[in-house]
Structure 1
Amino acid sequence: MSNRVEALARPAGRRENAKEAAEPPLEPAQGAGKRPDWRLTLLKDFGQGALIPLLILLVWQIGGEIGWISRDFLPSPLTIAESFAGLAGSGELLHHLGVSAGRAGLGFVVGGGLGLALGIATGMIRRLEYLLDPSLQVLRLVPHLAIAPLIILWFGFGETSKVAIIVSGSFFPLYVNTFLGIRNVDGQLFEVARSLEFSRTKRLLRLVLPAALPNILMGLRLSLAVSWIGLAVAEFVGSTSGIGFLINEAKQNGQPEVIFVGILIFAVVGKLVDSAVRLLESRWLHWRDSYQG
């Protein structure tokens, strides 16, 4: 009886200390804090993601072989593969792909670079936000493909108009996401920077850009995707080279298998570029403790 009374009278702090001593310390989860392997990222991205396309191709090929699908309407995957091999072997496909990649790259560098620079400027300087952001937001709501006829009217059917269409599309995703990323930086970090007497440049490079990097990379992915879409539209009109020209010429010649080759090139190259940015995210943002599913 006396033992029970002593146990009840024991201070709460002493009982808690005894409980903590009895429980083993929690070990960190296996793999916590480790940087994800880029090879594993690529394997998950392409390996698991290829299951549904492979299943569709299999059903597609079987449907064409047994006559369920008209080959004039939808050529079989093997026919498309033969057309791809012929275009690749002649060097024609590589030529058109190089031209398209050059246009998309130049348009993205100009448009995305301007978007990144203005996003940083308006995010850091409120007066610039008041001056520039309202006009930019109005322009953002205009579909960039809707102004393509006006760009062609101004610059003709040459390379300038094609690059300008890509620039108009790639600008806004990086601008908006960079601006939002900077404005979402924790305000207490700026107080720490002031107490450490960081210069404006040091505060931008050491504090703001690293904290806004997730938004900037998301804007990068969106900007690259829109650049690729703008490229297709630009090459459909008045072009003499590029993947879009290849598709348009195949339409006029009644070659659906070549059209599918062009579509496949757009899809695969776009996916490769997007996966490259995702790989950068996994390497640069490994410190994020976000939900991975």
Structure 2
Amino acid sequence: MSSLDYPLRRVAVGAVLACATLALLSWRGPAILPDSQLLELGQRLAQASLGSLGRLLSGLALGLLTGSLLGALMASWSLLDRLLGSLVHPLRQMPLFGWIALLGLWAGFGETSKVIFIALAVTYTMIIAAYQAVRAVPPRLDEVARVYQLGWGKRLRVLLLPAILPAWLGGLRIALAVAWSATIGSEILMGASAAGLGGFIWGQREVGRFDLVLLGTALIGTFAVLSDFALRQAEQRLQRWLRGY
């Protein structure tokens, strides 16, 4: 079985689920979704999808940068590891959604709070991933670099990145899944009125539209699977580049 079979199957499952939901809507007929509302529903779903993707990417980028930097510094500098480790590790045990009330007091329940919440979720994951990735680098690589007189650029590409990337990319995939959970959760719990898929399904739940809740849920699952698939593709391309072909 090739390395692409598993994610492709998951993409297929997501697509089948979405199609089954649409088939359910069509079967229930105009009493549930009149033709005159199809365009409006499509526009609402597109707006909600763009809102969720925008928050996801913003929070993921911020958390990825912060967590990777802190994790790498803690792994490289023992003093910083002792100082920050005693603070980061206890805070990491706190349930993620326990931060919502505090963030609401600090920044309200607007867009900024949602992005910070997503970034916070990603940061914890990436601190651990970056820390373990840097600590996993064998000390003998420095000796190899000196023996072959490798420059910094060559040393980074040939020795350090191949040693660091597996653990870091594994953490990134987990962080992506966590970011999706944080995105939908923040949209539901920190102001469902904002454009987003979480707000969409919560609003439909309030008015008893189970069919549209199911449609929004299927769309969230499809986006999550597709983003994970895209990340795996980027990972494989990066690994081929590091191998030189």
TM category, shorter = 0.7 to 0.9
Whether 1:192 and 2:144 are equivalent positions in the alignment is: yes
Pick the aligned partner of 2:214 from 221, 243, 260.
Answer: 260
Pick the aligned partner of 1:161 from 100, 110, 113.
Answer: 113
Unaligned 5+ runs, structure 1: 1-35, 62-74, 289-293
Q: Distance in 2 between matches of 1:246 and 1:275?
A: 25
Query: 1:277-288 counterparts in 2 under 5 A?
Result: 277-285=231-239
Q: Aligned residue for 1:150?
A: 102
Q: Is the 8 A contact 1:108 1:224 kept in 2?
A: yes
Residue by residue over 1:25-55, the C-alpha shift from the partner in whole angstroms, topping out at 9 and shown as x without a partner, is: xxxxxxxxxxx9xxx755553247746995x
* Secondary structure of 1:91's aligned partner: helix
Q: Is the 8 A contact 1:80 1:260 kept in 2?
A: no
**Quick one: higher RCO (CA 8 Å, sep 6+), 1 or 2?**
2
Shift of 1:128: 2.0
Whether 1:46 and 2:8 are equivalent positions in the alignment is: yes
Q: Distance in 1 between matches of 2:15 and 2:53?
A: 25
Q: Aligned residue for 2:25?
A: 79
**Given the superposition, is the C-alpha separation of residues 159 and 193 from structure 1 closer, same or farther in structure 2, using an over 3 Å criterion?**
same
Q: Aligned residue for 2:200?
A: 246
Pick the aligned partner of 1:231 from 173, 183, 190.
Answer: 183
Residue by residue over 1:231-253, the C-alpha shift from the partner in whole angstroms, topping out at 9 and shown as x without a partner, is: 11111132322111111110111
**Given the superposition, is the C-alpha separation of residues 200 and 135 from structure 1 closer, same or farther in structure 2, using an over 3 Å criterion?**
farther
Q: Aligned residue for 1:172?
A: 124
In angstroms, what is the RMSD of aligned CA positions? 3.3
Q: Is the 8 A contact 1:170 1:227 kept in 2?
A: yes
Shift of 1:145: 1.3
Q: Distance in 1 between matches of 2:155 and 2:78?
A: 16
Q: Distance in 2 between matches of 1:200 and 1:137?
A: 33
* Code of the aligned partner of 2:43: G
Q: Is the 8 A contact 2:74 2:81 kept in 1?
A: yes
- Give the aligned length: 233
Q: Distance in 2 between matches of 1:105 and 1:201?
A: 29
**Given the superposition, is the C-alpha separation of residues 160 and 89 from structure 1 closer, same or farther in structure 2, using an over 3 Å criterion?**
closer
Q: Is the 8 A contact 1:217 1:277 kept in 2?
A: no
Unaligned 5+ runs, structure 2: none
Q: Aligned residue for 1:29?
A: none
Q: Distance in 2 between matches of 1:205 and 1:128?
A: 26
User: Which has a greater percent of helix?
Assistant: 2
**Given the superposition, is the C-alpha separation of residues 94 and 269 from structure 1 closer, same or farther in structure 2, using an over 3 Å criterion?**
same
Normalization by structure 1: what TM-score?
A: 0.68
* Code of the aligned partner of 1:46: L
Q: Aligned residue for 1:25?
A: none
Higher-Rg member (1/2) = 1
Q: Distance in 2 between matches of 1:225 and 1:48?
A: 14
**Given the superposition, is the C-alpha separation of residues 51 and 110 from structure 1 closer, same or farther in structure 2, using an over 3 Å criterion?**
closer
Shift of 1:283: 3.0
**Identity, % of aligned pairs?**
30
Q: Is the 8 A contact 1:185 1:212 kept in 2?
A: yes
